[in-house]
Amino acid sequence: MLAAGPAGAAEGGPYDVIVIGAGFAGITATRELRARGKRVLLLEARGRVGGRTYVDTFGGHQVEMGGTWVETTQPHIAAELTRYDIALTEEHPVDRVLLPTPSGPKEFTPEDAFNRTGAVLERLFDGSRQYFERPFEPLYRSDLLQSLDRLSLRDRLNQLGLTAEEELLVNGQTAIYSGGSSTQGALTMLSHWWSLAGWSNQGWADTQRWRMTNGTSGLLDAMLADAKPVLRLNSPVASVTDTGSLVYVTLKSGVRYSATRAVVAVPVNVWPTIRFSPSLPAAHTTAGAQGIAVPNAYKMFIHAKAGAGKFSAQGAEGGSPIPMLMPFKETSQGLLYVAFSTDPTLDPADKAQVASAVRQLGAELDIIEVRAHDWGRDPYARGGWAFRKPGQLTSLYPSIHNTSGRVAFASGDVANGWSGFLDGAVESGLRAARQTLGLE
């Protein structure tokens, strides 16, 4: 039943469910629906599946240009890894760590850097064992969260009265995760991740420790082969109309499909680009307008000549346009580094600009080439990783998980658990499938 390619007419069907978006959330929902015998049409705007994950080749190696890391303590993705016998590869250890200090970047041993940053992070998230007592039930202690959810990460940093040296150890992290400024991200977002990781610096570090040996595409292909839906690539959706008895999905090409139900499995930031009739519920409208994923997000791989070695580096808030960098793999010419940026003025195609940004971290790289993806300007993502803003947890949850008539929603942006991670996407897809089947 698996088919691919753009549709020239409303052929095929009839369908029980139309799933919009073939990322991890959409493919998970599709598989679960197909397992219950539903006839599913899976629509994907791009010419590939994967959503905010995709595998490329660069420097002679397979590289992940989007979501990458998984952890066996993340229950939903761990179940998929087991189900399809997906092998994991551990990231290479680093030889040294560059961190910002009041007098400029300084080199630390990995153990010293880990202990120094961990001590500050533990203070930052003090109390999270209470207010996120059950991390997969984020509102379980809503009585404690109401006031805390109003705080930005900048508010929390200011509360702690850190020395300049202490704050510099962590404000690069709080800023980049927030989308560029610690004022933009919610304390409860980062502390939620910390709680899910076991309230420990080791658990937090482990969230960037393991990746799939054969790439995220290997798991997606296995899930698709299991599901065998009708798949239409290059099929961006213009509108979704729920008549009360049928759901009509119209593509930008004008082709229209119908089914008894639909699952919208695109990023929350993309919701405003689709015309919904009736209009989306209040929580969904607000989430789409405010956005959940950070609006400016580059992931890049830097191919550099040998010499600088296997180091990781973190910048200070307001410092280098590339505040996070780590080694990936050796090549015949040198080394690949993976880096992240939320600076809209950065041009990854400008090797001199990238080298300057790395120099601000305290390192010199002789750059051969850079490969980057701008998720913020990607029309089918409109942002990178999910990171809630102050107030969004307590104002949007749990309503954001509700269906709207015959339409359910699946996105790792609004998981109960690991929002912004592959685990959250799978969790969301499972929930949307249960809702569509009338099981939740």
Q: Distance (Å, rounded) from C-alpha 41 to C-alpha 50?
A: 16
Q: Distance (Å, rounded) from C-alpha 236 to C-alpha 35?
A: 26
Q: Distance (Å, rounded) from C-alpha 38 to C-alpha 1?
A: 12
Known binding residues for FAD are: 44-45, 237
Q: Distance (Å, rounded) from C-alpha 139 to C-alpha 152?
A: 18
Known binding residues for substrate are: 192
CA distances from 234 to 41, 47, 49, 249, 388 (A): 14, 5, 10, 15, 30
Instruction: Specify the length of the chain in residues.
Output: 440
Give the residue among 418, 13, 77, 32 at the shortest CA–CA distance from 263.
32
Report how far Cα 245 is from the mean position of its chain's Cα atoms: 34
Q: What angle do CA 343, 345, 347 make, to 5 degrees?
A: 100
Q: Evaluate whether 197 touches 206 at the Cβ level (below 8 Å).
A: yes
- 3-class SS of residue 243: coil
**In what helix (H) or strand (E) does residue 311 lie, and over which residues does it extend?**
strand 311-314
Report how far Cα 201 is from the mean position of its chain's Cα atoms: 20
Alpha helices in 109-200 (DSSP H): 110-124, 128-131, 142-148, 153-160, 164-168, 171-178, 187-196
Known binding residues are: 44-45, 192, 237
Q: Evaluate whether 341 touches 307 at the Cβ level (below 8 Å).
A: no
> Which regions of 223-297 does DSSP assign to beta strands (E)?
230-232, 237-242, 247-251, 256-264, 275-277
Tokens of 185: 């991200």
